[in-house]
């Protein structure tokens, strides 16, 4: 029963292909490393992530859309993408090379469960998923990658999985330090970060049914004004914008990756009627739901 509930990395259709990457190694269904990121089986249609991805572009560039935002990763830049983001429009230059680490959500949280500071820093990567590395940081990440890859292949080591967890945590500290440097971390923001983290998690889980800022504030036992101020301070976006962004993502995924009718989607996302959903979608995406589905 426990096994069935576990979030499995390789069960995703796109990830089944990952085991066949040249040069890739896997630790059960929790962790995959590949030094051929240019061969990543990225989805051709909008797809909600169900895993954590950390990638380093070493040559060329990668472009993609994350939650409708256009992003480009150049050589020497680190990409951190957490679960629930919607990725599409993936393209890489012909000369692109890089390193890629993918892990199940359970495995990630299993590693950082007792290290709050690392968890908080990774929240920042939601707002700034692409970070420029210094030369020594590139060397450090590459060393971790090669050593972890080597240990995954060491099937005769009795402590292999525990050792890999420890190495991954050490790597997270160093990646967290990069985030700390990029962010110029201010301890006074910690309270606002905690509020934002909890808010975002609640939006991810409830946006299909609830889109009122006041409802989220009530669940967090704070005022709507405090919630709005904290969210804006940390992310640069308003609470309303975050809610609308997640609702729009849900709509895009359902329209592209399901056979549900517009009426069924209207009911699932708690819109009053199809006309209202159509106006909402066109306002945020620029086309009608039917046109988007056919595009």
pLDDT digits (tens, 9 = 90+) for 243-288: 998 899 889 889 988 889 999 999 999 999 999 999 999 999 899 9
Mean pLDDT of the chain: 83
Q: Identify which of 46-55, 82-91, 134-143 has the greatest average pLDDT.
A: 134-143
What CA–CA distance (Å, rounded) separates 279 from 263? 14
User: Residues for the chain: how many in total?
Assistant: 295
> What is the three-class DSSP state of 45?
coil
Name the residue with higher pLDDT: 220 or 37. Answer: 220
- Bridging pattern class, strands 77-81 and 86-92: unpaired
Percent of the chain with pLDDT strictly greater than 70: 82
pLDDT at 13 over 60: no
Q: Which two tokens stand for residue 121?
A: 């820093």
Domain with CATH 2.60.120.280 in the chain: 2-183
- The predicted-structure confidence for 155-204, as pLDDT tens digits, reads as follows 888 899 889 999 999 998 898 888 777 766 555 566 787 788 889 889 98
* Predicted confidence band of residue 91 (pLDDT cuts 50, 70, 90): confident
What CA–CA distance (Å, rounded) separates 18 from 55? 14
Q: Which two tokens stand for residue 252?
A: 């895009």
Q: Is 6 exposed, middle or buried (0-12, 13-18, 19+ CB in 10 A)?
A: middle
What backbone torsions phi and psi does residue 113 show, to the nearest 5 degrees? -55, -30
What CA–CA distance (Å, rounded) separates 224 from 228? 6
Domain with CATH 1.10.10.60 in the chain: 189-294
* Predicted confidence band of residue 18 (pLDDT cuts 50, 70, 90): low
Q: Taking the mean position of all CA atoms in its chain, how far away is CA 154? A: 29
CATH topology of domain 2-183: Jelly Rolls (2.60.120)
What CA–CA distance (Å, rounded) separates 119 from 105? 13
Q: Is 32 exposed, middle or buried (0-12, 13-18, 19+ CB in 10 A)?
A: buried
pLDDT at 68: 72
Percent of the chain with pLDDT strictly greater than 90: 40
What CA–CA distance (Å, rounded) separates 101 from 168? 10
State which CATH number among 3.40.50.1580, 1.10.1040.10, 1.20.120.1200, 1.10.10.60 fits the domain covering 189-294. Answer: 1.10.10.60
- The closest alpha carbon to 139, from 171, 187, 91, belongs to 171
What CA–CA distance (Å, rounded) separates 248 from 271? 12
> What is the three-class DSSP state of 115?
coil
Q: What's the N-to-C CA distance of the chain in angstroms?
A: 41
- β-sheet bridge partners, residue 73: 62
């Amino acid at each position: 029963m426990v096994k069935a509930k576990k979030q499995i990395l390789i069960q995703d259709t796109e990830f089944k292909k990952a085991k066949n990457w040249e040069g890739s190694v896997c630790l059960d269904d929790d962790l995959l490393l590949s030094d051929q990121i240019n061969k990543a089986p990225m989805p051709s249609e909008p797809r909600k992530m169900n895993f954590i991805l950390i990638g380093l572009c070493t040559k060329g560039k990668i472009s993609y859309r994350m939650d409708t935002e256009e992003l480009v990763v150049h050589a020497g830049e680190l990409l951190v993408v957490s679960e629930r983001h919607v990725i599409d429009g993936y393209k890489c230059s012909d000369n692109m090379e890089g390193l890629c680490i993918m892990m199940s959500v359970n495995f990630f949280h299993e590693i950082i469960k007792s290290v709050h500071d690392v968890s908080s820093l990774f929240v920042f990567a939601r707002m700034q998923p692409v970070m420029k590395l210094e030369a020594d940081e590139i060397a450090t990440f590459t060393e971790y990658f090669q050593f972890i890859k080597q240990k995954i292949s060491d099937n005769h080591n009795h402590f292999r999985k525990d050792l890999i967890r420890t190495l991954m945590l050490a790597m997270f500290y160093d990646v967290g330090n990069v985030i700390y440097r990029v962010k110029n971390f201010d301890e006074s923001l910690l309270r606002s970060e905690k509020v934002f983290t909890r808010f975002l998690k609640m939006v991810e889980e409830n946006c299909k049914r609830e889109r009122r800022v006041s409802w989220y504030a009530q669940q967090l036992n704070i005022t709507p004004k405090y919630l709005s101020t904290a969210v804006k301070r940390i992310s640069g976006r308003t609470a309303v914008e975050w809610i609308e962004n997640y609702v729009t993502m849900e709509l895009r995924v359902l329209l592209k990756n399901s056979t549900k009718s517009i009426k069924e989607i209207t009911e699932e996302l708690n819109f009053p009627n199809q006309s209202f959903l159509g106006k909402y979608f066109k306002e945020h995406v620029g086309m009608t739901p039917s046109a988007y589905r056919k595009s």
